[in-house]
Structure 1
Amino acid sequence: MTNATLERTTLDISETLRKNSTLVYPFVSVFAIIAYFTITSPQFLTFDNATNIGRQAAVLLLVALAGTVVILIGSIDLSVGANVTLSGLVTAAAVDRVGLLGAIVVGVLAGAAIGFTNGVIYTGLKVPSFLVTLGTMSVCAGVAGHLSGGSAIVYSSTALPGFVNSKSVLGIPNVIFIVLAVAALLTAVSFRTKFGRYLYAIGGGEPVAVLSGINLRRYKVLAFVLGGALCGLGGVILTGQVQAGSPSAGDALLLDSIAAVVMGGTALSGGLGGAHRTVLGVVVIALLSNGMDLTGVNNFTQEIVKGLVVVASVALTIDRSRYSFIK
């Protein structure tokens, strides 16, 4: 091989890696995390711990998918954690009265209603999504406090915990199959339906989307409703896992979900990424959190690490060409 050919091959490889960097970094991170924690903790690479990681990551995946839908249109939802908390409390309060199916419906509708409120205020009053959802986060936290009286809502029904926590196939908890099915369905919706294509179009450039005849307000509201419904389902599952509704259940989900979204390669500028990439980002965050727990890393250090992951991921995935200047 001549020097010119070698140089050209090296340049081609570098260009390919640059173009696909948002996929390369998460995959490299997964293998690096697995290798490191396999060496430092003998319990890490076991079947029991793998199912434990899946169980722990289930709600995070739903919340991260909710964030992904909104981020794809170039917006952001900071109320996802508070939505999970309130939806979970509503589910816990309803399950003994309306049964398993009724409680699931009530919880999902509660989350969708919060998303609808966010979307209507955002599009109708033209308030930035950051500020709208920041306010909604506070409102949901207050309503959750009033509803629960500051303590957990405990229910007696065994149907919801049984549905969520049972192991029906190969010793794998049902909840893992549920959330993976949701992720697969959302991926199909994103790439195979008009709704999904419109979300990417809006995030890719609103002026072009308008010229294409897309009703921006309608699809932005629908994005927030879908995100809210996913958070509602997350609240239902979390309530089933812990067999109670907690007034602080979703507090830690906001940072972790944003970290998972950007780590997976969905750009905060919108129009790039999707549910399939968010699954990979959630795997990275779940492996990292589990590994740090097994190796005795304290919670404060874990928060520092996750914060650094968010900053690094945004720096690597942000499309700087979309901004005339960085605010």
Structure 2
Amino acid sequence: MADRPASAVKTMGDLDLRTIILPLVAIVVLIAYFTYINPLFFSSANALNIGRQSAVLLMVALAGTVVILIGSIDLSVGALVTLAGILAALTVDRFGVPGAILTGVGVGALVGLINGSLVTMLRVPSFLVTLGMLSILSGVTNQISQGQSILFMDSLLPDIVNGSVVLGVPNVIWFALIATAVLTVVAFRTKLGRYLYALGGGEIVAAHAGVPVTFYKILAFVLAGAICGLAGVMLTGQVGAGTPTAGGSLLLNSIAAVVMGGTALSGGIGGPHRTFLGVLVIAILTNGMDVTEVNSFTQDIVKGVVIILAVSLTIDRSKYLFIK
């Protein structure tokens, strides 16, 4: 295979360096700014608060990263987290924590299987499939819960999620960090990871190279769905109930985190380690705006601007003949 032109290599190198430096600079600037406005922002208590607030978001963003790496997108992640959380709340008293986890992860994997199958076998764009699935899952959630929070008696799940085993750090934070480490290893040290990047880099080229494209595209959606299912269980344990609006903000924030971290929506660039940085940016930005009492409407505007800027800086324009 011919080498890339020197100009293309330089462009990709500049893009890679930019997507590493920008989130780090953003983190430093945001911390400095919010600390100047409110010195209480820079405290260990608030750092743990940021960690607790962003742990589930990190899980969802990791799920989104898996799908975005292959050049697709999953708009149903927030709705899936909500449904998995409701089902976990309904099953934990009868089947215990293991049953709740299996239910959440199983439902998530099933939804991912459906999404991936529709995308690959019917050749329907992932945007449209998962947009429809978002509506379906929201409807199912409201049918099951009747729009009400689902309470449960089991105290073990909240204890596991909110308790602390190591260094006084809530377990929910450790779960999210472990998931990040595992997915990073998968991305860079396994065949699955290599194939995900290959699909995002060029599906036709990957197919000619012998990659089972359909299987691995479906597997990406299944893996993403399973992670969202686990995130839903974690969120239910964190809140102490299954709530039908729990995942409302997760879709926008997770996409913002993924692209802010440097994973290109065009696929093939980035990874879980980048998403971790992106989540830090979004979490610090959100917490800082809360601490400085910025109203929720303004926060939505700021996050929208962040998404547009991040996409404009990370998209690989060489993959598109036309921008539509």
Query: 2: distance between equivalents of 1:43 and 1:253?
Result: 26
Runs of 4+ in 1 over 6 A off after TM superposition: none
What residue in structure 1 maps to residue 98 of structure 2? Answer: 101
Q: Structure 2: give runs of 5+ residues left out of the alignment.
A: 1-10
SS at match of 1:168: strand
What is the DSSP-based 3-state SS (H/G/I as helix, E as strand, rest coil) of the residue aligned with 1:43?
helix
1:19 CA displacement: 4.7
Q: How far, CA to CA, are the matches of 1:264 and 1:288 in structure 2?
A: 14
SS of 2:248's partner is coil
1:34 aligns with 2:5: no
Quick check: 1:271 aligned with 2:271?
no
* Structure 1 residues not aligned, in runs of 5+: 1-13
Deviation (angstroms), 1:110: 1.0
Alignment of 1:223-262 (within 5 A): 223-262=220-259
1:73 aligns with 2:67: no
Give the secondary-structure state (helix, strand or coil) at the position aligned to 2:302: helix
Is the Cα contact below 8 Å between 1:262 and 1:313 reproduced in 2? yes
CA distance in 2, matches of 1:19, 1:233: 31
> Residue 4 of structure 2 aligns with which residue?
none
1:207 deviates by 1.3
User: For residues 27 and 170 of structure 1, what CA distance do their matches in structure 2 show?
Assistant: 25
Match of 1:3 in 2: none
Q: How does 1:195-214 map to 2 (within 5 A)?
A: 195-214=192-211
CA distance in 2 between partners of 1:274 and 1:192 (Å): 12
1:322 Cα deviation from its structure 2 partner: 0.8
What per-residue deviation string (whole Å, max 9, x for no partner) do you get for residues 227-263 of structure 1? 0011001100100011000111101100000000000
Residues 1:93 and 1:202: Cα distance change in structure 2 (over 3 Å): same
After superposition, the C-alpha distances for 1:111-138 in whole angstroms (9 at most, x for unaligned) are 1111111001111111000000000000
Corresponding position: 1:132 with 2:113: no
- Larger CA deviation: 16-25 vs 44-53: 16-25
- Return the alpha-carbon distance in structure 1 between the equivalents of residues 303 and 16 of structure 2: 25
Give the letter aligned to residue 87 of structure 2.
V
Amino acid at match of 1:60: L
Does the CA-based 8 Å contact 2:15-2:314 persist in structure 1?
A: no
RMSD between superposed Cα atoms in Å? 1.2
Q: Distance in 2 between matches of 1:128 and 1:303?
A: 27
Amino acid at match of 1:212: A
Equivalent residue for 2:168?
A: 171
Q: How many residues were matched structurally?
A: 314
**TM alignment of 1:1-327, pairs within 5 A:** 19-327=16-324
Alignment-derived partner of residue 5 in structure 1: none
Structure 2 vs 1, CA of residues 173 and 209 (structure 1 numbering), >3 Å: closer, same or farther?
Answer: same
The residue number in structure 1 matching 2:8 is none
Question: How many angstroms does 1:171 deviate by?
Answer: 1.4
Specify the structure having the higher radius of gyration (Cα): 1
Any conservation in 1 of the 2:104–2:230 contact (CA below 8 Å)?
A: yes
Q: Distance in 1 between matches of 2:73 and 2:246?
A: 21
Q: 1:76 to 1:18 in 2, by over 3 A?
A: closer
- CA separation of 1:113 and 1:18: change in aligned 2, threshold 3 A: closer
- Percent identity of paired positions between Structure 1 and Structure 2: 61
Amino acid across the alignment from 1:318: I
